[in-house]
Structure 1
């Protein structure tokens, strides 16, 4: 249905002076919403049929200016409708009122990101943590160039922003995350009809930094297996350890361990669920094969599998457990999943199978678990010796 608009005023809100707020009543697809204009006019001088204001008195100096203001606003609305039509996009009443704020204005990157982050959060597309990270990126942009417009941001701008963060002492991972955020929200801006984006920003290479993936080897994992029934652990620490070992033996992310429950079709062979990460994009359940021993770590089979504290307390408890176990590694909720990946590659060595189990979209993500320790390298060489049957070495 085409857009229609009408000059009008609220008949029930006429002042004692006879003046009323002037509106444009806009209708799109049977949805109607009034757009306020920032002035009042005598109600009996508002000609709704001709969509103009009449003179309040002879030689009224303001009538021409106000009528031009009305005409310009109508032209703006019509132009927005035309832009949507040209791009074959559907214009809604909500989009029109939003885009009036963008029209013929250069929007700063900060304002756009603030708007879009809250829009995604309110729609349930992102969670509180992602929202906080986004606003941390916004704070860093404010420190760099608060008033930078969206179309200012290109490859050169991102290069200077990256150098600014390095000079401030930001870690490589932090810089990568900040630029990743900016590029993501510029991509959202590109999809908008009324925003202008310099696509040169895409040419800025933003590769994730190389980081060491912390995992437990078999010896360290055996120590934790033995710790399960230790009297040294508090009840909270034991609950955390059981959940952590469940991670180590199933590959589940901590976000899914917190959600794991009896409705996940736990059968003798597998768990079936939609992972929390990327759930907006997924429609098919992930099937994770589960070894029988992993089930022994589940606290409750009739409801939620685990009764866990906050993730902050969970990580703090893991560090306390590591200290008691004399494991000199920085244990966190991520280490459990990393440990599963490392041990799978060590003992099974099938990267395609691991990719399917862990639910990775790209094999490059799975590659990070193909770690080998010195002992693994030696054992691999010894296995080769057995296979080629070297018994003696002939001296030259």
Structure 2
């Protein structure tokens, strides 16, 4: 079996058996190709069935000069999964990654925006521009519902259950969840729909997508990044923000307001509570206030 063939088979497995998204699969492919490129550059002819720990250790040493520990850990995790797949399919008896340790990395806390910063970003939107109402609705949806950018651009009119105060979201691995939506967010979605979207010429195949570009097609993830980047520059915001920053802010502000961690987990669509628990570390001063308010020993 050649590397290219193995990567294709593994990609199909990730899509069909694991139900991963196209973006996740591309990331796994990209990391595996790093190893393949290293083997070619080093003139090493070692197929996936027989490659040993020593060669992979040399590869890891080589990439450690180029990528940070967090990226190294991600690449190693991807390689472990790939070789476990080969074992599962009886292509090889062992995993050469078993005794290779991942680099020590600290837990990276997500960047967040304050309520004032969010208001300033939204306030900087030019509502006289044809796409101003759309951009305001986009930011209100990102922050008001805690969506991933991929979930936002995939949101459809048929996913909106505004009378029931919910929207249906298709998350990672096409897993669907219902996310509550507040009146404030619904108001700006309705303004966009009535005053902008209803007057657009929509291209065939895009009739059900909520957020459209000026040509009547689905917005891309890159376009959302660009909208946010320009607004940050406009208000002179020094933080390095992205659409995901609004999701982090959504979760952090809910936690600071006293929301239950399990409820936040459900709204974010995290499979594991440990993923959501990172927000517990964002604002320790809030946790101190919770202890003072609710623990019986602090009253005396």
Tell me, what secondary structure is at the counterpart of 2:193?
coil
Q: CA deviation at 1:381?
A: 8.5
What residue in structure 2 maps to residue 214 of structure 1?
111
Matched, 1:312 2:222: yes
Contact 1:240-1:318 within 8 A present in 2 as well: no
Contact 2:109-2:281 within 8 A present in 1 as well: no
Q: CA deviation at 1:190?
A: 1.8
User: Using the alignment, how far apart are the partners of 2:61 and 2:10 within structure 1?
Assistant: 26
Structure 1 residues 375 and 274: alpha-carbon distance in aligned structure 2, compared to 1, 3 A threshold: closer
Structure 1 residues 247 and 122: alpha-carbon distance in aligned structure 2, compared to 1, 3 A threshold: same
Structure 1 residues 235 and 328: alpha-carbon distance in aligned structure 2, compared to 1, 3 A threshold: farther
Structure 2: state its 5+ residue gaps.
199-207, 214-218
User: Using the alignment, how far apart are the partners of 1:361 and 1:207 within structure 2?
Assistant: 25
Contact 1:110-1:141 within 8 A present in 2 as well: no
Q: CA deviation at 1:122?
A: 9.8
Q: TM-score, normalised by structure 1?
A: 0.58
User: Using the alignment, how far apart are the partners of 2:77 and 2:278 within structure 1?
Assistant: 20
User: Using the alignment, how far apart are the partners of 2:55 and 2:141 within structure 1?
Assistant: 45
What residue in structure 1 maps to residue 134 of structure 2?
239
Contact 1:109-1:148 within 8 A present in 2 as well: no
Q: TM-score, normalised by structure 2?
A: 0.74
Tell me, what secondary structure is at the counterpart of 2:166?
strand
Tell me, what secondary structure is at the counterpart of 1:273?
strand
Contact 2:146-2:250 within 8 A present in 1 as well: yes
What residue in structure 1 maps to residue 186 of structure 2?
295
User: Which of 307, 326, 348 is 2:258 aligned to?
Assistant: 348
Q: CA deviation at 1:294?
A: 1.6
Contact 1:237-1:318 within 8 A present in 2 as well: no
Q: CA deviation at 1:342?
A: 0.8
Q: CA RMSD in A?
A: 3.7
Q: CA deviation at 1:213?
A: 1.0
Q: CA deviation at 1:336?
A: 1.7
Q: CA deviation at 1:255?
A: 1.3
The higher-RCO structure (CA 8 Å, 6+ apart) is: 2
Contact 1:245-1:336 within 8 A present in 2 as well: no
What residue in structure 2 maps to residue 99 of structure 1?
none
User: Using the alignment, how far apart are the partners of 1:125 and 1:373 within structure 2?
Assistant: 34
What residue in structure 1 maps to residue 46 of structure 2?
148
Structure 1 residues 119 and 151: alpha-carbon distance in aligned structure 2, compared to 1, 3 A threshold: closer
Contact 2:137-2:185 within 8 A present in 1 as well: no
Matched, 1:175 2:84: no
Structure 1 residues 311 and 320: alpha-carbon distance in aligned structure 2, compared to 1, 3 A threshold: same
Contact 2:153-2:220 within 8 A present in 1 as well: no
Matched, 1:165 2:59: no
1:195-206 aligned at under 5 Å gives the runs 195-206=91-102
User: Using the alignment, how far apart are the partners of 1:254 and 1:134 within structure 2?
Assistant: 20
Contact 1:269-1:291 within 8 A present in 2 as well: no
Matched, 1:138 2:35: no
Contact 2:79-2:97 within 8 A present in 1 as well: no
Structure 1 residues 274 and 239: alpha-carbon distance in aligned structure 2, compared to 1, 3 A threshold: closer
1:352-371 aligned at under 5 Å gives the runs 352-371=262-281
Structure 1 residues 267 and 241: alpha-carbon distance in aligned structure 2, compared to 1, 3 A threshold: closer
Q: CA deviation at 1:363?
A: 0.9
Matched, 1:259 2:154: yes
User: Which of 117, 126, 149 is 2:11 aligned to?
Assistant: 117
Contact 2:171-2:177 within 8 A present in 1 as well: no
Q: CA deviation at 1:214?
A: 1.6
Q: CA deviation at 1:322?
A: 0.8
Structure 1 residues 288 and 122: alpha-carbon distance in aligned structure 2, compared to 1, 3 A threshold: closer
Counting helix residues as a fraction of each chain, which structure ranks higher?
2
